[in-house]
Amino acid sequence: MPSRSSQPKAALSDYKAIAAQYAKAKRLKELEDAKNNQRSLPTEPAPSGIAEKQRQALEARRKATFEKRFQWTVGFWVWMLCIHVISIFLFTSGFLLTRLVLDERSNCANPPIQPLLSWKGQGSVDGGCWHPKTFDKAVVVLIDALRYDFTVPVEDESKAEGFHNAFPFLYESSVKSPNNAFLLPFIADPPTATLQRLKGLTTGTLPTFVDVGSSFGGTAIDEDNLLLQLRGLGKRIVHLGDDTWTALFPGYFQPNISRAYDSFNVWDLHTVDNGVLEHIFPLMKPEKQGEWDFLIGHLLGVDHAGHRYGPNHAAMTAKLVQMDQFIRNLTETIDDNTLLVVMGDHGMDGKGDHGGESDDEVEAALWMYSKRPLFGRTKPEFVTPPATAKVRPVNQIDLVPTLALLLGLPIPYNNLGRPIEEAFAGKKGNAWGNLAAVARMASAGIRKYQASYFAARGMVQSAKPGSAADLWEIAGAASEGRPVQQAVYHAYTTYQEETLRVCKDLWARFDIPKMILGITAMALGVIVLIVYVSRDEDDDYAVLDNAELDLAEKNLELLDGSSVPEAASYQGLSKIVVKSGLLGGLIGAALGIAYVSFTNSEDWPMAVAAAALVSLVAVTITLSGAGKNLVNVVPNTVWGWLSVVFTLSQSIGFASNSYTIWEDSISLFFLSTFGFTNAVAALRRPTIAERTLGVYHSILFLALGRLASFSKLCREEQMPYCTSTYYASANSSTSASWQLVIPFVVFLILPSIIKAYMMTSRSYEGLAPAWIGYVFRMGLLLSAAYWALDAADNGDWITWLPAQTLKTIQVSVAQLVLALAFVAGTTAFIWAPPCVSILTKAASNARTAQITVLGYGNVNGARYLLLVLNFAGACILLSKPMGSGAMAIMLWQVLSLVEIVDLNALTAETIGPVTLALLGNFHFFKTGHQAAFSSIQWDSAFIPLFTIRYPWSPIVVILNTFAGQILACVAVPLVVIWKTNPKRKGVLESVTRALGVFVAFYATQSLATMAWAGWLRRHLMLFRVFSPRFMVAAAVLLIVDLVGILATLTGVRTNALAISEVFGWAD
């Protein structure tokens, strides 16, 4: 992308003068030999005390200068991280809107409309608030992730999956006793995280898409809901099971008999279920009936079996059989005045995950049971439960008015659901008067809520024909005089359907100005970043590794001795950028705060936007004044244009849902294009050896990408043109037996491959043999052992060892691997000397000795590679067996990539960092992920832990999910420092530019997905394709920003400090 400036630079002429003055320096021959990976120096007499002090003072000044440059560089990246955070925040605040929560509460004595029926105790707790009470008590059993087809028997055993015919009681009882029970598909509104489902199941409202982010930190529900109504009327509520309820409803449950259990330990299939079964049956005894009115039992075993094994596994079958027997026993213990409800909060996909992207994830089951014959069907064919969830489904929010009216409670104020027909149709299915009464009451509550919501939003309801208001008038007219109750019922049902549609559309409205501000800030951030990393002649000279000039410069500084010469312009760029950014941010923040205060708008995001935008403008002006502008960005080489094509074509492609769905295959195409182009370019190298190596590494890079492509996790939209290979099968979340071989293959060959790459530069010296040959290899062996133990645990191969003991061994092994990678690895990287060895032999002159430094020509890259290996070792452990193979291939590709960049002299080009970014994206897919919530491997949190622990569990999930991008980010410096000697100047600035190009690639993707999601906000696939891809892009951008600061730049600093201890500072 960069071009060269034609303006002469003073610094360049100074360097040329120094070069001319020392052209005949005595050590030129030896310095040229150093470029061929060995350093031969004649020993010199020990320097005098004064000269040594001067040298130490010079090194100290250079070190201090480096530290200041590093601090300002980190400051720039912290500023850029803030810009990215603000941009994403502004866009999401307009794109992922939350629903306005109203404070109103329904009241028993004040129904929204006068009831059609009259009954004894009307308007009271005992008789029924808005409708005659049918039950005094209710037992609600929530079987997490109970998918509808788990409950429907399959007669043809040859077509039956493992989960079929294991839970037949719900279906059989509905067929045999239709007046006592009914079974229906129970459709969840995405997102289908448990916390959001519980909100919908208790309030009757729809979740908004942004609510999925609160799955790990649910706050108490502060709007009207079923439990609030129960507590307000003096009812006693007992909860058993999933502790999410206690977070949503603190203080609601009877303290002495309620039992809450940790809900996030997906590895544990039995603790929560056993706890519910242990405590629920004693509460069913007659002597305990007076201690509760509403009992909730939330079981997690089915959900956890899905997450751990997938639905088509023996563990799932066993869990469903257990649930079947549990419900059979429970029906025998309830009395005639107790309603039993069994339901799932969501379903699961073929791997046991649930984000809401596929039908299987939203299709749960609902079964209601009464000892008394009360239920009915309006048509005879409705007696048999639907064969699939596509037939006669009910919305999950419909449960709220149904339970409220059956228990004699007011319907919660914010409810949008409608009463379930089978619960009020009567034994003969012709109780149209009752159906009309409940439909009218629920409709009146919806109308009241809608009016309040529109008033709070300052909106006007439509009254055109076919609108909700028009349908309300039609329904009201149908109920006047001597109405036909069936027509009244259908009229109010039509009104409810239209109102629900209106509300779904209402909550899909977007704050366009905030979205535009977010996109604008991100776009300016991308422009600033690519201008910042553009190059000119001064920048080019800064990265030369001409040791002769370094000697000349050092001698001049020693002669001067007073101070360090003024830093080159490229070294002070970060400093002036950070200062201008801070100043602009303060001015913008002041203007934004003044605006918010003056207008009393309380729209603080606008103040944040002002701070970001003014800061970006200030930095843009500063860069322009420093000679950095958009002209520098225009590519002037084929490689620069190839970088632009790779970046823009992917970004533009995100406008297509098909492109986004098949992004994994398209990434492989781009990587293959890079490999082929480099193979052709290598043919132009001057020597046969270089041509041969260039073609070899290019073809190897291409072949490795093709090999990695065999690891696939298909998303639903790719079917039937894709076959998943990441797991044992499409309906499993465990690895196949043959896949366990992969980690052992990695253990055997990966360290040897790394050694081979280091041997080409004689860099397999110093700590490298011990660390790579023993410590890193041991980590890989332990990782392979972990996954073998995991398979043994899943398959019950080691029956003689208790499950808890086996889990303890697994966790201990995993923790040991991570300790080797991050604790021992970090310590070793900080304190290790350069990967060099010094050989001394006598010269022809008896008074001197010949010194050879092995590994001198790759001293920067070889040592830094140790940090990359630490992250690779951790990511290999945290990826499943197929993913560990993909991560090993990625590391191999990275090594081939840096060889290609060195052989084809592409260090100064942008193609290296861009290809690394492409590699990171490609291996995101190859490690079993897709741009879909359901592909998140939550079970990875329990690889090194027994239970959820913050912040470690989220960090582990992030390392598993974004292993490709994280490893690529850590490896960025290798693109510019591989096979460079310690006299390389401007290493920090070169790495910063490479990191800038790398981050700019992801920032452009984030900008593109942001823009396309905003533009296509009414697209049918918005929340299934475009919105998840934007979220992935935003998460990746923030993660590479953080990794770049905490690992990449810090690693470069540590590397420079260690190398300078031996060879001194180059600049």
DSSP code string of 384-435: SPPSSTTSS-EEGGGHHHHHHHHTTPPPPTT------HHHHS-TTS--HHHH
> Residue 715 corresponds to which amino acid?
R
What is the C-alpha to C-alpha distance for residues 709 and 665, in angstroms, rounded to an integer? Answer: 8
State the pLDDT at residue 556.
58
Percent of the chain's residues with pLDDT above 90: 53
* Mean of pLDDT values over 465-492: 82
State the pLDDT at residue 215.
40
What is the C-alpha to C-alpha distance for residues 818 and 870, in angstroms, rounded to an integer? Answer: 9
Least confident span in 96-105, 243-252, 364-373, 951-960:
96-105
Nearest Cα residue to 412 out of 99, 114, 106, 103 = 106
In the DSSP assignment, the letter for residue 227 is: H
* Mean of pLDDT values over 603-624: 90
Integer angstrom CA distances of residue 745 from 292, 410, 701, 750:
59, 64, 19, 8
State the pLDDT at residue 849.
67
> Residue 607 corresponds to which amino acid?
A
What is the C-alpha to C-alpha distance for residues 528 and 784, in angstroms, rounded to an integer? Answer: 45
Each residue's pLDDT tens digit, 999-1012: 999 999 999 999 99
Each residue's pLDDT tens digit, 152-192: 998 877 777 878 889 999 999 999 999 999 999 999 887 66
Structural domains present in the chain: 61-96+516-560+568-634 (no CATH), 138-207+225-375 (3.40.720.10), 702-984+1037-1063 (no CATH)
Query: Length of the chain in residues, anyone?
Result: 1067
Q: How far apart are the first and last CA of the chain?
A: 27
* Residue 843 token pair: 């010269």
> Which residues are bridge partners to 872 per DSSP?
none
Residue recorded with tokens 């028997």: 153
State the pLDDT at residue 216.
41
Indicate whether 454 pLDDT > 90.
no
Which range among 205-214, 599-608, 703-712, 844-853 has the greatest average pLDDT? Answer: 703-712
Indicate whether 810 pLDDT > 60.
yes
Indicate whether 741 pLDDT > 60.
yes
Indicate whether 1035 pLDDT > 90.
yes
Residue recorded with tokens 């060892």: 801
State the pLDDT at residue 273.
93
Which range among 1001-1010, 1018-1027, 1053-1062 has the greatest average pLDDT? Answer: 1001-1010
Least confident span in 364-373, 503-512, 944-953:
503-512
Indicate whether 115 pLDDT > 90.
no
Q: Mapping DSSP to helix (H, G, I), strand (E, B) and coil, where does residue 890 land?
A: helix
Nearest Cα residue to 339 out of 232, 176, 200, 181 = 181
Each residue's pLDDT tens digit, 296-306: 999 999 988 88
What is the C-alpha to C-alpha distance for residues 150 and 653, in angstroms, rounded to an integer? Answer: 39
Indicate whether 141 pLDDT > 90.
yes
Each residue's pLDDT tens digit, 21-55: 434 343 444 444 444 444 444 444 445 567 777 77
